[in-house]
Chains A and B, each alone.
Chain A
């Protein structure tokens, strides 16, 4: 969109700014060119109007080449020269037309060549002035755009965090737990009580950690263990977890509830689909310097029926990582041959 042509008020402002320019040109035509005031005005005013409109086309080349680029300025200079040469030609044409149509302007077609150098010089100058104006408009717009994007990114990050908190505790997980507890109350009251306590511990941790913006990996692992201690009571021997954690990595900070949903996914779409049970492997390492590498892998039955709510947890984690770290983090999901793997690399930060 052309910033001036698309806005009537701006166009009016722009054209009125050419008023003083044409006044100066009239003055110069009269003093340096030696034209009478009337002839100078008859020539300069229409020429200025014409040139004002021609200069608007500079916008398109400004938009495509940044001001910091010196080649862009060479290009603009060349364009300025060409437009001014054309302007000189137009002035000549106008003078011929005026002198042939109006008696009062007889001989103007010869006099006009006296202002050629003046026209050429001011043409280049005025064109470049308009180019500068467009660059100012562009940088203004870019600044606005950057500010708008930053606000948008911030609100997106906050929003997806909030959404994450809502979807973190899967209600079906709680209903199934309560059903298990209901089964245990008569057959094994002590275990029923133990399961209540573990579920409470997990919920309390989730609520507490969810309110913070960063926690240590150690805290996230504690949450995962609290979660798994409940799931182990439901799945028993079907659930196996292998952990391989490089010493020292647990001190890094991460957003809360980043890994627990991935482990929950691994259970819902992995272990729950396998009659003989399955495994989850969790690896945390120092990746390339400055990065923290996290991998959650599980096996699953590729022929299992599709489960509802597929991958909402995974999508959510991905969104949060994107919102929080943008290009500083990597996030990859691979699935095949009965294995599902989520691996990510986050900036290694400590609180």
Chain B
């Protein structure tokens, strides 16, 4: 990070007055330019894609997407300073390597400290990977919904609506109701986030929603194919078959 370079920042909070207090405190920092303000998670994801800010002030509880879901979607290129009235999210914020965690209301000096840390961070390699971000975005034991970004658009669907997932290098392709979404996450981390009672890893590269499996067919010498209710055909490995049969109760 060069000295005196401008830092481009956005402020994300659903309350007007909460954004206002940050804006005002930033007035004494001419090196920081506020390039956008967002009142909900959707707008935040869009603004990050369009404006490519260096720094983001982020609330946790917001309409549409909460702060951690926003982070999961935008990755860790942006330095993040959380600003929230809730102290119970601090550990998760630490896990996603947030620059700082401001508890509302806060003093200008406290914000200055956060900015000093942010300046050290900006331009350095991001520390938290996509899997860490996905894990932190989960507020319950298992994910209840899945968020995916497609360009500047955000898709949200309940975990139960996921038909199956296929590993593709660093990404997973998520199939839901006839559509496919690509998300930067490993299939193992996706598997860990979903309820194992509903989702089974049938193959090194495939995770399937048990409710969608309509039947199993032998394929070749010792492999099988799972046929889903929408007609999709997924390869099933030998260990995958054992796991699947355990859940389907041998009826297959």
Report B153-205 residues with CB < 8 Å from chain A CB.
Answer: 156
Q: Does B109 contact A (CB under 8 A)?
A: no
Q: Is B16 an interface residue (CB 8 A)?
A: yes
A235 CB contacts on chain B under 8 angstroms: 15
Task: Give Cα A235 to B17, complex, Å.
Answer: 9
Contacts of A176 in B (CB 8 A): 15, 18, 85, 104
26 A–B pairs (Cβ distance < 8 Å), ordered by A: A172-B86, A175-B105, A176-B15, A176-B18, A176-B104, A179-B21, A179-B85, A179-B105, A180-B15, A187-B20, A187-B24, A233-B17, A234-B15, A234-B17, A272-B63, A273-B64, A274-B63, A275-B14, A301-B64, A304-B64, A305-B64, A305-B66, A306-B144, A308-B61, A308-B86, A308-B88
Given A172-B86, A176-B104, A275-B40, the answer on whether A183 and B17 have CB atoms closer than 8 Å is yes
Is A307 a contact of B17 with CB atoms below 8 Å?
no
Cα(A183)–Cα(B27), bound, Å: 13
Q: Closest CB of chain A to B28's CB: distance in Å?
A: 12
> Is B64 in contact with A275, judged by CB distance below 8 angstroms?
yes
A175 touches B85 (CB 8 A): yes
Residue of A nearest to B144 (CB): A306
CB of A173, distance to nearest CB on chain B (Å): 8
Report yes or no: B14 in contact with A272, Cβ–Cβ below 8 A. yes
- B140 interface contact, C-beta 8 A: yes
Spell out A's residues near B (CB within 8 Å). Answer: 172, 175-176, 178-184, 186-187, 233-236, 272-275, 301, 303-308
Contact, CB under 8 Å: A180 / B17? yes
Q: Kindly state the separation between the CA atoms of A233 and B103 in the bound complex, as whole angstroms.
A: 20
B24 touches which of A186, A233, A307 (Cβ 8 Å): A186
Minimum CB distance partner of B42 in chain A: A275
Q: Tell me the chain B residues, 73-131 only, with Cβ under 8 Å from chain A.
A: 85-86, 88, 103-105
Could you tell me if A183 and B20 are in contact, using CB atoms closer than 8 angstroms?
yes
Among B18, B63, B140, B144, chain A packs the most CB atoms within 10 A around the CB of B63
B-side binding surface: helix, strand, loop or mixed? loop
B45 vs chain A, min Cβ distance (A): 13
Nearest to B19 among chain A residues (CB) is: A183
The answer for the CA separation of A273 and B63 in the assembled complex, in Å, is 4
Which residue from A178, A181, A274, A308 sits with its C-beta under 8 Å from B139? A308
Decide yes or no: A306 and B24 within 8 Å by CB, A180-B15, A234-B15 being known contacts: no
Which residue of chain B has its CB nearest to the CB of A236?
Answer: B16
Chain B stretch 38-54: residues in CB contact (< 8 A) with chain A:
39-41
- Looking at A181, A233, A304, A305, which has the most chain B CB atoms within 10 Å of its CB? A305
Chain B 51-74 near chain A by CB (<8 Å), digits 1 or 0: 000000000010111100100000
Known pairs A233-B17, A306-B139, A308-B139 / 16 extra A-B pairs, C-beta < 8 Å: A179-B15, A179-B104, A180-B17, A183-B21, A187-B24, A234-B17, A235-B15, A272-B61, A273-B63, A275-B40, A275-B64, A301-B63, A303-B145, A303-B156, A305-B61, A305-B65
- CB-CB under 8 A from A175, the residues of chain B are 85, 103-105
A179 to B18, Cβ gap below 8 A? Answer: yes
A305–B86 CB distance below 8 A: no
Q: Bound complex: CA of A178 vs CA of B18, how far in Å?
A: 10
A183 touches B18 (CB 8 A): yes
**A274 nearest CB neighbor, chain B only:** B63
Chain A residues within an 8 Å CB radius of B104: 175-176, 178-179
Task: Provide the bound-state CA to CA distance between A187 and B17, in Å.
Answer: 10
* Cα of A74 to Cα of B53 in the assembled complex, Å: 89
Kindly list chain A residues whose C-beta atoms are within 8 Å of the C-beta of B20. Answer: 183, 187
Please, how many angstroms separate the alpha-carbon atoms of A176 and B104 in the complex?
A: 7
Q: Which residue of A lies closest to B14 (CB)?
A: A272
A61 CB to nearest B CB, Å: 45
1-44 of chain B: CB within 8 A of chain A: 14-18, 20-21, 24, 39-41
- Please provide the 8 A-B residue pairs with the shortest distance between their CB atoms, ordered closest to farther: A183-B21, A175-B85, A179-B104, A182-B105, A183-B17, A179-B105, A305-B66, A180-B17
CB distance from B168 to the nearest CB of A (A): 27
Q: Which residue of B lies closest to A170 (CB)?
A: B85
Q: Is the CB of A179 within 8 A of B24?
A: no
Cα(A181)–Cα(B140), bound, Å: 33
- Taking the nearest CB of chain B, how far is it from the CB of A192, in angstroms? 10
B63 near A183: Cβ-Cβ < 8 Å = no
Complex interface: chain A residues within 8 A of B139 (CB): 305-306, 308
Query: Chain A residues near B86 (CB, 8 Å)?
Result: 172, 308
Q: What is the minimal beta-carbon distance from B89 to any residue of chain A, in angstroms?
A: 8
Provide the bound-state CA to CA distance between A304 and B65, in Å. Answer: 7
CA distance A180 to B139 in the complex (A): 26
Query: Which chain B residue has the least Cβ–Cβ distance from A304?
Result: B63
State A182–B16 Cα separation when bound (angstroms).
13
- Which chain B positions have C-beta within 8 A of A272? 14, 61, 63
Contact of A275 among B15, B39, B140, B156 (CB under 8 A): B39
CB of A165 to closest CB in B, whole Å: 21
Q: How far is the CB of B14 from chain A (nearest CB, A)?
A: 7
